[in-house]
Chains A and B, each alone.
Chain A
Amino acid sequence: MSAFSDPEIIRMAQKQYIAVVGDDWYQRRRDDEEGRFFRSVADQGPRKGLGGTTRQGIYCFTAAGKLLAYCNNIDPEKMRNAVKKGLTEWRLLPESERRPGEVAVDNSPGSDARYSRRPPTDGLILNVYARILDHDAKGEVCAGSCKIVGGDRASRDHMWLTRADWKSLVPDRPVSGATIPLPESIADRLVRYHLVDNTRGEPPLWQREDVRSRHLNLMIEHVSDSSVKMQLEGAVLLATDADVTRADRGFDVQLLGCLRFDRRRQAFDRVDIVAYGKHWGDGAFTKGARKGKSPLGIVFELARGDTPADQVPPQGAREIAEYLGRLNR
């Protein structure tokens, strides 16, 4: 992330490139035109994905598929040089290869459904941010610090709710003061896929047996002709060992949230949830966790859903059937 905060890189990316992101887990597997195109570009560089290994990196290439430059280094200077080299190589190409409209691109390339993901139709997309926290000299909660570059920043993910999911949040006849359990599929997804420390990389997700306790309820605060306001509250204990004191990874977390359903639009116009508690341990790709138990905070909020970034699937959506609770338990 830090290299793409470099002003010169940002300027080049904004003005002189078409900028795109890709999750290599999908891209190196998909068996469709897009996957084949990507791999044909990547194979011109040093990472040829032998044995199914990653092809991650920064690629500069033409719409016709000619690689111009490659870099797999987050150092801003190295990345800046690679992005500049891409432009230099681009300008050296014959004008016939650079002219707008010169390269024909198929409008309907087809898609390998196993490795392409779109948000559920009529579903909800929630932004999910996580940040390591700490306490200042006065004992007040503050942002934490991390020896891993970028580990102190807010991480990002999305949570998807299907139409059936969000409809299940609102009782047919809501009554002020009533309390209902958070529907099982949503509770399971929120806990196992999103109460995770992804601040330093791809996080390990929680297995069902890691959920030591889970109490998540919706309290209906107010009902009117126009809206239903609800409060989510609860607590979850996650640990990789039944004896929590021996667990090498865990999260002891409280949750509080505000949800509002617009009855006239038949849509949620507010979902704001905070999860806060003590987390410990790390995963294969999230090394460098602070020692012992330390505060971790997670926020869920309604995304607008109309930007390219909003379309990025949840990390957990790689196993989409399980993520959406469609596998038999």
Chain B
Amino acid sequence: MMFTKSMILFSFSALFGLVSSLVLADSKSALTAEQFEKLRGLIKPHPGEDKWAEIPWTSQLWDARRQAAAQGKPILLWEMDGNPLGCG
């Protein structure tokens, strides 16, 4: 069978389009439902990772002061730039 120039060009164009779409699909693939669940489990705090959370932190210094006065206890303040219960 003889291939005309236009047939060859069309074939190359179609092949190029297919390859391009595969590359684009791979680099910009949307998250799937399966990935969603797996990523959720990976990203969220793992059991035992946040032992500091076993301490009953309050986030209001004045409330802590009131409780300390009422209970006869000292105050332990963890003061950071960025709330310690927040980032990092």
Q: Which residues of A contact B (CB under 8 A)?
A: 1, 4-5, 7, 10, 12-14, 16-25, 27, 33-34, 37-38, 41-42, 54-64, 68, 83, 86-87, 90, 98-105, 107, 109, 129-131, 133, 141-143, 150, 153-158, 198-203, 233, 235, 254-256, 272, 274, 276, 285, 297-299, 301, 308-309, 311-315
| A316 CA to B36 CA, complexed, in Å | 26
B69 near A21: Cβ-Cβ < 8 Å: no
B61 near A27: Cβ-Cβ < 8 Å: yes
Q: Which residues of B contact A (CB under 8 A)?
A: 28-33, 35-36, 38-40, 42-46, 49-88
B57 near A309: Cβ-Cβ < 8 Å: yes
A19 near B31: Cβ-Cβ < 8 Å: no
Q: Known: A5-B52, A309-B57. Contact between A25 and B82, CB under 8 A?
A: yes
| A255 CA to B39 CA, complexed, in Å | 11
A202 near B76: Cβ-Cβ < 8 Å: no
Some 9 contacts from A to B, beta carbons below 8 A apart, are A18-B74, A19-B57, A20-B57, A20-B59, A61-B77, A141-B42, A143-B42, A256-B30, A297-B39
What residue of chain B has the Cβ atom nearest to residue A201's Cβ? B88
| A99 CA to B74 CA, complexed, in Å | 11
Q: Known: A68-B74, A256-B30. Contact between A130 and B43, CB under 8 A?
A: yes
Q: Known: A60-B74, A86-B74, A153-B45. Contact between A21 and B83, CB under 8 A?
A: yes
| A91 CA to B84 CA, complexed, in Å | 28
| A23 CA to B71 CA, complexed, in Å | 25
Interchain CB contact (< 8 A) of A299 among B30, B43, B78 = B43
> Which of B32, B35, B44 has most A Cβ within 10 Å?
B44
B84 near A21: Cβ-Cβ < 8 Å: yes
Chain A contact residues: helix, strand, loop or mixed = mixed
B85 near A312: Cβ-Cβ < 8 Å: yes
6 extra interchain contacts, Cβ-Cβ under 8 A, other than A14-B54, A201-B87? A1-B52, A4-B51, A18-B64, A63-B65, A156-B87, A297-B43
Interchain CB contact (< 8 A) of B54 among A10, A55, A59, A299 = A10
B61 near A37: Cβ-Cβ < 8 Å: yes
| A159 CA to B65 CA, complexed, in Å | 28
B46 CB to closest chain A CB, in angstroms?
A: 7
A67 CB to closest chain B CB, in angstroms?
A: 10
B53 near A309: Cβ-Cβ < 8 Å: yes
A142 near B82: Cβ-Cβ < 8 Å: no
B71 near A25: Cβ-Cβ < 8 Å: no
Interchain CB contact (< 8 A) of A4 among B39, B44, B55, B83 = B55
Q: Known: A1-B88, A14-B54, A202-B87. Contact between A315 and B77, CB under 8 A?
A: no
Q: Known: A58-B78, A62-B74. Contact between A299 and B69, CB under 8 A?
A: no
B51 near A38: Cβ-Cβ < 8 Å: no
Interchain CB contact (< 8 A) of A133 among B42, B70, B81 = B42
